[in-house]
Amino acid sequence: MTTTASQIDLAARSFWERPQEERDAAFAVLRRESPVVWSRPAESDLLPPEENTRGFWSLTKYEDIRFASRNPKIFSSAGGITMEDFSPEMTELAQSFIAMDDPRHAQLRGITMNAFKPGNMRRLEGWVAGHARDLIDEMAPLGQGDFVELVSVKLPGRIFGSFFGLPEGEVHDRTIDAAQRLLSWTDPEARGGLTALELFGGAVMELREVAAMLAEERRRKPGEDLMTWIVQAEWDGERMTDDEICAFFVLLAVAANDTTRHASAHAIHAFSRHPDQRDLLMQDIPARIDGAVEEVLRWASPLLHMRRTATQDVTIRDAEIRAGEKVVLWYCSGNRDEDVYENPYTFDILRDPNRHQAFGGGGPHFCLGSALARTMLKTLLTEVYTRIPDIQAPEADFLVANFINGIKRLSATWTPEAA
């Protein structure tokens, strides 16, 4: 049966339960027939029905996503960045400057930029390489296991821990666990009996507690880590308040952990499904790894969307968007746009150019951690395909979510490396 645009309901939970191929096919129909489309309010567990009254526009074409991303005066980030609405209190507690506009966004982003300067990035690269090697040392002799549990969860967690200066042990593990729970509110299994709000709110409060404790400690005893730079950093003579530090910690815990976690699982899954591309990579890893990482990012689109709110009436194609309406930017669709990519459904590590939208469509909110994410994926994939090159993981267990393109479990086998 052929699907038409009017039959596609991006607001429905059931749409996000469907396999990725079916969702991809639906977005292809939208790009062709109705590239800027209006939806009823997203089915939500976060707000009671009487408060969940706002529908949303979807941008499905690469060019439109790029346009909205680069015109923040028309497409504001204040007021929320997800298709589903959160209460304003939750947005403030958890989303920091990703949900703000300039000048405050630029100011807070500026304070944190110091942490991402080249000297600090070089230190991070050392950590990334060390942690990736340690993890593959631990898994290589096993011969089988869940790649998500053995590597995907642990690598970004350990890097984040080193970056932020989290003490090893219970606090570290609790923090990473809370960060990973945070974006799973739509998945009944991940919620484990809690309501979406309990899961989300609980994880946010745990992360804020750790942040407050760590900030206090770093003021007393500075170290060589992100929290020290944050509590000391000034921008136009201003420092971040405690509340701002806590919200930034929550944002970064989630932005840095969940995205890279799922990207690494998608990488192993994609190479298992496309052995010709794995062979191509292995013929010359140093020359092909950068292209492979970009294609994994395009292919996976670990963040499926970000949202904006129109600040004025604006027409895109023939859609008349009114001031105050929500506009969702579907990166997963932009990354399959036939007008931009030849054979968009082919996983091709030699694709060139490959200006994907996995880190956003450009503009002031472009992913702050893109360099770190690329380094992490490059280092990890190099280590995996050098040490355990025959790793196979073609069957994935996906998260049900409309924001994160997640893999919950990825059962893998490989020839054990001699201990």
Residues whose CB falls within 8 Å of the CB of residue 364, separated by 6 or more in sequence, listed in order: 72, 102, 105, 106, 109
Please, what is the minimum distance in Å from the beta carbon of residue 368 to ligand HEM?
Answer: 4
Nearer to ligand HEM by C-beta: 8 or 253?
A: 253
Q: Which is nearer to ligand HEM, 34 or 112 (CB)?
A: 112
Which run of H or E residues covers position 314?
strand 314-316
Whichever of 122 and 221 has its CB closer to ligand HEM, that residue is: 122
Token readout for 25 is 């096919």
Closer by beta carbon to ligand HEM, 263 or else 316: 263
How many Å from the N-terminal Cα to the C-terminal Cα in the chain? Answer: 54
CB of 394 to ligand HEM, least distance (A): 22
Range 204-209 contact pairs with CB under 8 angstroms and sequence separation of 24 or more: 204/90, 204/93, 204/94, 204/250, 206/174, 206/175, 206/178, 207/175, 207/178, 207/179, 207/182, 207/246, 207/249, 207/250, 207/253, 208/93, 208/246, 208/247, 208/249, 208/250
| Closest residue to ligand HEM, based on beta-carbon distance | 369
Quote the least distance from Cβ 374 to ligand HEM, whole Å.
8
CB of 116 to ligand HEM, least distance (A): 8
Q: Where are the alpha helices (DSSP H) in 62-195?
A: 62-69, 88-94, 104-113, 118-139, 147, 154-164, 170-182, 188-191
Q: Closer to ligand HEM at the Cβ: 3 or 120?
A: 120
Integer Cα distance of 388 and 385 in angstroms: 6
How many C-alpha atoms does 97 have within 13 Å on its Cβ side? 23
- Write out the residues near ligand HEM by the rule CB under 6 A: 69, 97-98, 109, 251-252, 255-256, 259-260, 263, 302-303, 306, 358-361, 363, 365-369, 372-373
- Nearest-approach distance from CB 7 to ligand HEM, in angstroms: 28
Q: Are 191 and 251 in contact (CB under 8 A)?
A: no
Work out how close the CB of 2 gets to ligand HEM at its nearest, in angstroms, rounded to a whole number: 32
CB of 302 to ligand HEM, least distance (A): 4
